[in-house]
Amino acid sequence: MTATSGTAAPEERWEWTQERYRDGVFSHAVSTERERLRLLESVLDEHTRGNFRRLGLAPGHRVLEVGGGGGSVARWLAEQGAEVTVTDLDTTYLDELTDIGVRVLRHDVYQDDFPPGSFDFIHTRYVVIHLPDPERAVARLARWLKPGGVLLLEEPSFFPIKDSPHPAYRKVMRAFRSHLESAVGTDTEWARNLPVPLAGKGLGDIGYDARFQRITGGDDEAEWWRLTLEQTRQAVVAGGLAEDEDFEAAYRELADPGFHDLSLAVFTAWGTRQAD
């Protein structure tokens, strides 16, 4: 990870990241965070649901949703008849799901465990890239699957935003990327390695695909980016990575109906737990 010391113990790196991701960047205490997550769900949920259907989700399946965010995926899984466990470092937006039978846990993927063979599906979305040791996280997730269970990862890569032809958008996106790497420890290009990180972890039938998220000015993707950027704006400006004027110019671009560009690349990878 670019923002962590090569000599730090994994536990130390994890504590460092937990504090900043749960209580700092994208904290649930930020007034716009729930709306930001809702917008992200609006642009990603259709693809996530399609992946579950394609991989054979069925009523009665035990599903673990790691990093449940706003809870839309866990809710949909429960509506399909799955037995759902959803986890996050902050369950503020998830606790209401207990009313529909979802098990909600505050859970640290490195320090809290599940017995081997606990789940038919395990899913993450926009989670693993933020963790200080993604390979270790994937290995732990794979161990919690039963034989025949499926690990499904959906993770973004930031490379499409680095060379945008729109100058203000390009500048603040590059600044945001640098800030995320230093403030959270995010490996913004880890997902580009998928599906390789699934190999050697007891998984077979490994597959993957990739797609680009697109932006049209004023759409949900554009508004999600505006809220995301605004939540980090003060820190980015304080760090000298961009100026307030750059953010304002980028927001004008993102609000212009004539604006069209790429957002993140989303890499999806899956594998099936093999019998020991």
Question: How sure is the predictor about 19, in pLDDT bands with cuts at 50, 70 and 90?
Answer: low
Separation of alpha carbons 137 and 122, rounded Å: 12
Name which of 25-39, 109-123, 153-167, 216-230 the model is least confident about: 25-39
Question: How sure is the predictor about 30, in pLDDT bands with cuts at 50, 70 and 90?
Answer: confident
Element of type H or E holding 269: strand 260-273
Average pLDDT in the 97-106 region?
A: 97
Question: How sure is the predictor about 13, in pLDDT bands with cuts at 50, 70 and 90?
Answer: very low
pLDDT score of 207 = 98
Question: How sure is the predictor about 2, in pLDDT bands with cuts at 50, 70 and 90?
Answer: very low
pLDDT score of 26 = 77
Q: What is the pLDDT of residues 58-67, one digit of tens each?
A: 999 999 999 9
Q: What is the pLDDT of residues 41-62, one digit of tens each?
A: 999 999 999 999 999 999 999 9
Which pair of structure tokens corresponds to residue 39? 């917008």
Average pLDDT in the 80-103 region?
A: 96
Residue (of 159, 161, 261, 158) closest to 217 by Cα position: 261
Average pLDDT in the 134-141 region?
A: 96
Which pair of structure tokens corresponds to residue 223? 């508004």
pLDDT score of 132 = 85
Average pLDDT in the 116-139 region?
A: 95
Separation of alpha carbons 108 and 133, rounded Å: 13
Q: What percent of the chain has pLDDT over 70?
A: 91
Question: How sure is the predictor about 39, in pLDDT bands with cuts at 50, 70 and 90?
Answer: very high
Average pLDDT in the 192-215 region?
A: 97
Question: What is the overall mean pLDDT for the chain?
Answer: 91
- Is it true that domain 10-157+187-213+266-273 has CATH number 1.20.120.1200? no
Residue (of 223, 227, 212, 226) closest to 261 by Cα position: 212
Q: Which residue has the higher pLDDT, 237 or 10?
A: 237
Where do the domains of the chain lie?
Answer: 10-157+187-213+266-273
Separation of alpha carbons 164 and 162, rounded Å: 6
Average pLDDT in the 250-261 region?
A: 98
Residue 4 has pLDDT above 60, yes or no: no
Separation of alpha carbons 22 and 29, rounded Å: 9
Q: Which residues contact 150 (CB under 8 A, 6 or more apart)?
A: 55, 56, 120, 121, 122, 270, 271, 272, 273
pLDDT score of 20 = 53
Q: Which amino acid is at 217?
A: G
pLDDT score of 21 = 53
Element of type H or E holding 244: helix 244-255
Average pLDDT in the 234-242 region?
A: 96
pLDDT score of 23 = 52
pLDDT score of 276 = 78
pLDDT score of 7 = 35
Name which of 7-11, 13-17, 139-143, 254-258 the model is least confident about: 7-11
